[in-house]
């Protein structure tokens, strides 16, 4: 028995399609951000050095921040579709995974800070450049505080892998390919370990980040295929007590 009628029927086809595209865009934006990072890597410490870097590479820095932040919207769409697709397999875990996962994306949008910077530093850089030497120390101190915040464990950093792990528990027996669920469980567990050991074993992020992209890509493709499967099922004749009924036209 399902909690909502027609969970895999045509009513949800636009959502599955949109979420599938959103998942692939999540990966594309991340790869583009990483490419820009390798071309112009911002400093990870030092307020004054960061302000000078932003002044010299403003367009690249802003693009990097947007490419890291905008995918939070894509993550919300994907987790909404997963909630509806996985409710029949495990209602409690699907809802819990959605709440935790969506909370991570909302937290990142509410406090738009990434591990490589924040858009607030762009404003500080402009003010620092325009200020005289006597006033610049205040902007450097403010930048130091923001840079330090970038290098600490964040709520979004913890909730993201936890949400992936929770929503993949029903995925291993739901309508999506079961291997995507197992991949998500491994991704979520590795992500939690990466956050817990962020300063001790920083290299874990080099594995967790790409693995998260692989999981999102796999989920996106699976949702697009679920879109087609839903349309196919809606065209199949339904059998009831009165015999075969004509399938509803698309």
E strand or H helix that includes residue 70: none
Contacts 24+ apart (CB under 8 A), 71-74: 71/25, 71/26, 71/29, 71/30, 72/105, 72/106, 72/108, 72/109, 73/22, 73/105, 73/109, 74/22, 74/23, 74/25, 74/26, 74/29
Count CA atoms closer than 13 A to 175's CA, side-chain side: 23
In total, the chain counts a number of residues equal to 250
pLDDT digit string, tens, across residues 175-204: 999 999 999 999 999 999 988 887 777 788
Residue 232: which pLDDT band, with cuts at 50, 70 and 90?
A: low
pTM over 0.85: no
Residue 243: which pLDDT band, with cuts at 50, 70 and 90?
A: very low
């Amino acid at each position: 028995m399902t909690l909502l009628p027609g969970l895999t029927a045509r009513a949800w086809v636009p959502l599955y399609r949109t979420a599938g595209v959103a998942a692939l865009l999540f990966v594309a934006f991340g790869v583009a951000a990483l490419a820009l990072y390798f071309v112009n890597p911002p400093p990870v410490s030092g307020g004054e050095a960061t302000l000078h870097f932003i002044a010299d590479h403003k367009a690249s820095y802003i693009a990097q921040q947007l490419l890291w932040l905008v995918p939070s919207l894509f993550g919300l769409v994907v987790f909404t579709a997963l909630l509806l697709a996985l409710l029949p397999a495990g209602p409690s875990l699907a809802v819990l995974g959605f709440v935790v996962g969506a909370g991570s994306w909302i937290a990142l949008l509410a406090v738009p800070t990434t591990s490589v910077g924040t858009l607030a530093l762009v404003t500080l850089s402009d003010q620092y450049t325009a200020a005289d030497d006597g006033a610049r120390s205040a902007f450097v101190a403010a930048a130091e505080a923001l840079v330090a915040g970038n290098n600490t464990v964040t709520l979004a950093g913890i909730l993201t892998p936890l949400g992936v792990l929770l929503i993949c528990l029903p995925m291993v027996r739901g309508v999506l390919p079961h291997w995507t669920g197992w991949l998500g469980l491994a991704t979520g567990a590795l992500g939690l370990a990466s956050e817990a050991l962020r300063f001790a074993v920083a290299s874990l992020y080099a594995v967790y980040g790409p693995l998260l992209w692989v999981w999102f890509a796999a989920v996106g493709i699976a949702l697009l295929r679920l879109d087609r499967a839903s349309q196919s099922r809606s065209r199949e004749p339904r059998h009831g007590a009165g015999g075969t009924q004509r399938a509803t036209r698309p």
